[in-house]
Amino acid sequence: MRKLIVVLSLLTVGIVSQSMQTPNAASITRGKALYAQYCMSCHQADGAGAPRMTPPLGKTDYVTGDKARLIGIVLKGLNEPLEVNGEEYFNPMASFAHMNDQQIADVLTYIRNSFGNKASAITPAEVKAQRAKIK
Amino acid sequence: MRKIIVSLISLITLQASAQQADIQLPKGFAITNITKDKGRVRHIAVHSNGDVYLKLENLRYGKGILRLRDADKDGVYEDTLAFGNYIGTGIALHKNYLYASSNSAVFRYQLDAANNIVNPDQPERVVYGLVDRRQHASKSIAIDPKGNLYVNIGAPSNVCQERDRMQGSKGMMPCPILDSAGGIWKFRADKLEQSYAEGVRYATGLRNVVGLDWNTEVNELFVTVHGRDMLYQHFPELYDAKAGAELPAETFYMVKQGDNAGWPYVYWDPFQNKKILSPEYGGDGKKEGAPDAIKPLVGFPGHLAPNALLFYTGNQFPEKYRNGAFIAFHGSWNRNPQVQEGFYVVFVPMKNGQPTGDWEIFADGFTGKGKVSNPRDAMHRPCGLAMGPDGSLYVSDDAKGYVWKISYSAK
């Protein structure tokens, strides 16, 4: 019996996280509004960034690649020489640690599925896990 | 046959106009392009023999400085010399030396009697070790007739918060950045290997000066400052999107030794005509602050990025331009959700170091397509200004690497 419960709960966890990996429309809609509020001033309405200042979010490995690295950028901010698609940018990015796990998951899911990107969703649990590592 | 030629010509001009921005100027002025595709051309200087020096922010042919020479004076710069292995913004001529800056140092190159650089690969280092923390790192330079070298050291910060650009993070009191940045430092142009210790903090409370020029009519330094960002994004309860786009003003100051312009504690509000306390320091959009700080001569619309300042001392342009200021605006990136603004060269009529009338747009059309919502879409971004020996005005562009010459003929 004990064993069965473990197996069953493992299964449900599996199903839940599976379903959350495919970006859902509600998360993307919330993410779009959060993007306008928190990210657009620097990364621009079209996500293309600003020359010399802010890198683009479209077609970059930082956005569509490793989730932990992406979540880390938003939680910690970034101020080090970084080449994005062959160009360097000189402004710093602030930390957005004041956004909650759900908000960060939403905004990242949105940018991973906008500006020509297509990538799996980010879940609040993944953000929470990264946040715990930083503290 | 005639027809074919005509249509060919119109085809060619059509194609040219598709790639070339159409620059609008006041009546009587004409513009010619002297070079293109040189990358991020920042500040420029023109020597008394007509040589044009460009300081680059990305290496070109592996070098960071270009000298364009038109030896036979036919208007075509047939000879390009590339030297200097560092990127940067500042460039200036003084006596028989060329000065150029990296983001942390100032170098100089001796010119010989034929105006050639004696040793292009071995510059002398005049100043070293200046703050370079990526943000606002470019070092603009100006030299007065007495041989004092003025260097802008921009603050590597938006408004001196404990955590830069993080919403809710407080402004540090006092702002520790001001000890080594956020101002103009004065050095000697004729002394080598100067560190901060040999320099004087000439003026402070200047977030990021990119345009600076010595005014020989009144013998004072004048600067144009990039104002702070993020009022709307960080304080939506105090500033709406429009206020965030228009505030604070980009500013134009005369600065004397010891002056303080108030950054980060205040910003200039051109509508209230007041120094308003920064919200990171307890401001609410109305409270004033920094009573001892100097006031600007002009407050321009927010975020336009005044990247170059030049006092016109030539004889070629009409009388109204004499001793007035040209300012090159690089164009904004942070006025959205509003469209971006700037991307033009402005003229401020002046006498005895004071404006005598309203500023006006002198050269416009650099975006190549009217308004843009992302500066990336601007074809050109004005960045540097210089005056030639015949009184022509030179303008550089750091988006596509163009340089133009603007001349006047009364007809």
Out of A48, A81, A98, name the one closest to residue B168 (CB): A98
Between B183 and B9, the higher pLDDT residue: B183
User: E-strand spans in B75-128?
Assistant: 79-83, 91-94, 97-101, 106-110, 124-127
Least confident of B12-26, B176-190, B195-209: B12-26
Rounded Cα gap, residues B271 and B54, in angstroms: 37
Examine the pLDDT at A5 and tell me if it is beyond 70. Answer: no
Q: Looking at residue B1, what is its pLDDT?
A: 40
Q: What is the mean pLDDT of residues B84-107?
A: 97
Provide the pLDDT confidence category of residue A22 given band limits of 50, 70 and 90: confident
Domain boundaries, chain A: 25-134
Chain A residue at shortest CA distance from B229: A41
Q: What is the mean pLDDT of residues B199-206?
A: 98
Chain A residue at shortest CA distance from B132: A90
Selected for mutation to probe chain B from A32, A37, A38, A44 (highest B CB count within 10 Å) is: A44
Q: Looking at residue A88, what is its pLDDT?
A: 86
Residue of B342, B345, B395 lying closest to B371 (CA atoms): B342
Domain B6-408 is of which CATH architecture?
Answer: 6 Propeller (2.120)
Q: What is the mean pLDDT of residues A14-30?
A: 70
DSSP assignment string, B152-205:
EE--SSSS-BSSTT-TTPPBPSS-GGGGTSSEEEEEETT-SSB-GGGSEEEEE-
Q: Looking at residue B411, what is its pLDDT?
A: 66
CB-CB under 8 Å, B333 with A50: yes
Global pTM reads 0.92
Distance from CA of A91 to the nearest CA of B (A): 5
CB-CB under 8 Å, B40 with A53: no
Percent of chain B with pLDDT over 70: 95
Out of B40, B133, B336, name the one closest to residue A41 (CB): B336
A25-134 homologous superfamily: Cytochrome c-like domain (1.10.760.10)
Examine the pLDDT at A8 and tell me if it is beyond 70. Answer: no
Provide the pLDDT confidence category of residue B19 given band limits of 50, 70 and 90: low
pLDDT, tens only, A55-113: 999 999 999 999 999 999 999 999 988 888 888 899 999 999 999 999 999 999 999 99
Distances (CA, A) of B9 to B1, B6, B33, B376: 12, 5, 20, 31
Q: Looking at residue A86, what is its pLDDT?
A: 84
Q: Looking at residue B410, what is its pLDDT?
A: 81
CB-CB under 8 Å, B167 with A91: no
Contact list, A55 vs chain B (CB under 8 Å): none
Examine the pLDDT at B16 and tell me if it is beyond 90. Answer: no
User: Which residue bears the tokens 């796990």?
Assistant: A101
Provide the pLDDT confidence category of residue A9 given band limits of 50, 70 and 90: very low
Distance from CA of B65 to the nearest CA of A (A): 19
Distance from CA of B9 to the nearest CA of A (A): 35
pLDDT, tens only, A31-47: 999 999 999 999 999 99
Distance from CA of B140 to the nearest CA of A (A): 16
Between A9 and B69, the higher pLDDT residue: B69
Contact list, A77 vs chain B (CB under 8 Å): 163, 165-166
CB-CB under 8 Å, B135 with A45: no
Q: Looking at residue B269, what is its pLDDT?
A: 98
Reported ipTM: the value is: 0.84
A102 burial (CB, 10 Å; 0-12 / 13-18 / 19+) is: middle
Q: Looking at residue A20, what is its pLDDT?
A: 47
Examine the pLDDT at B14 and tell me if it is beyond 80. Answer: no
DSSP state of B379: S
CB-CB under 8 Å, B166 with A92: no
Rounded Cα gap, residues B374 and B39, in angstroms: 19
Q: Looking at residue B15, what is its pLDDT?
A: 40
Q: What is the largest CA-CA distance in chain B?
A: 77
Q: Looking at residue A7, what is its pLDDT?
A: 43
Chain A residue at shortest CA distance from B379: A51
pLDDT, tens only, B373-384: 999 999 999 999
Examine the pLDDT at B124 and tell me if it is beyond 60. Answer: yes
